[in-house]
Amino acid sequence: MARKRIAILISGRGSNMAALIDAASEHSYPADIALVLSNVADAGGLSVAQSKKIKTEVIDHKCFGKDRDGFEREIQKILDANRIDYVCLAGFMRLLTPSFVSHWHGRLLNIHPALLPSFKGLDTHERAIAEGVKIHGATVHFVVPEVDSGPIIVQAAVPVLTGDTPQSLSARVIQAEHRIYPLALRWLCEGKLKIVDGRCVIDGASDIDGVLISPTNLRLS
């Protein structure tokens, strides 16, 4: 089976981008990271990708003012030119239009630092601590027009410890993110994911395969 061509969209340091690049360096992984695209010219992740000999592009959203469609048309041109099969958002800090999202339906992934549907949006770690939850985590999901609302592919649970700060909690959640994003992309490229009645079904897997427990690094299967 031919390896799928992946584009990763970033706005910052790209730690999840780096995790995907590392996973794709394995011969058995079913994807190649063909492109890293940023809307920020000095995003730290660009130099990381370049050091791995991965093609990078920059499209500065500020050049388009309020013309979101124009910005996304330029993104789409580059994705088409690079024959991209799937797109992964990794800290891409721009809201995508329903038109763009619909065009990539079932082919566009995002990772969110919370156990969706809880704590959609920003400042998830601060909010989790403020609410007193005992379990926090991360979610990989398909992107739909409504923010942080697409079908959930895989989640990782991370305990909230006594005395946690947003920074200490974030550090553990990021470790979980780096485990589940490559897994979700693998499943997608292997054709194991289906969206049925608005929910993601993993072919050939038990229900518990969509849940990872962190930070013990114990996978339930």
Name every residue whose Cβ is closer than 8 Å to that of residue 51 and which is 6 or more positions away in sequence: none
Tell the residue number behind the tokens 């992107």, with chain if given: 143
Q: How far apart are CA 82 and CA 51, in angstroms?
A: 19
Cα-Cα-Cα-Cα dihedral of 119, 186, 214, 37, to 10°? Answer: -50
Specify whether the CB–CB gap between 179 and 156 falls below 8 A.
Answer: yes
* Residue 112 annotated as catalytic: yes
Two structure tokens written together for 110: 């995002």
DSSP codes of every residue in 105-122: TTSEEEEESS-TTSS-SS
Q: What is the DSSP string of 67-91?
A: -HHHHHHHHHHHHHHTT-SEEEESS
Catalytic pick among 61, 112, 136, 178: 112
Within 8 A by CB and 6+ apart from 54, the residues are: 21, 33, 34, 35, 36
DSSP annotation of 4 = E
Catalytic site positions:
112
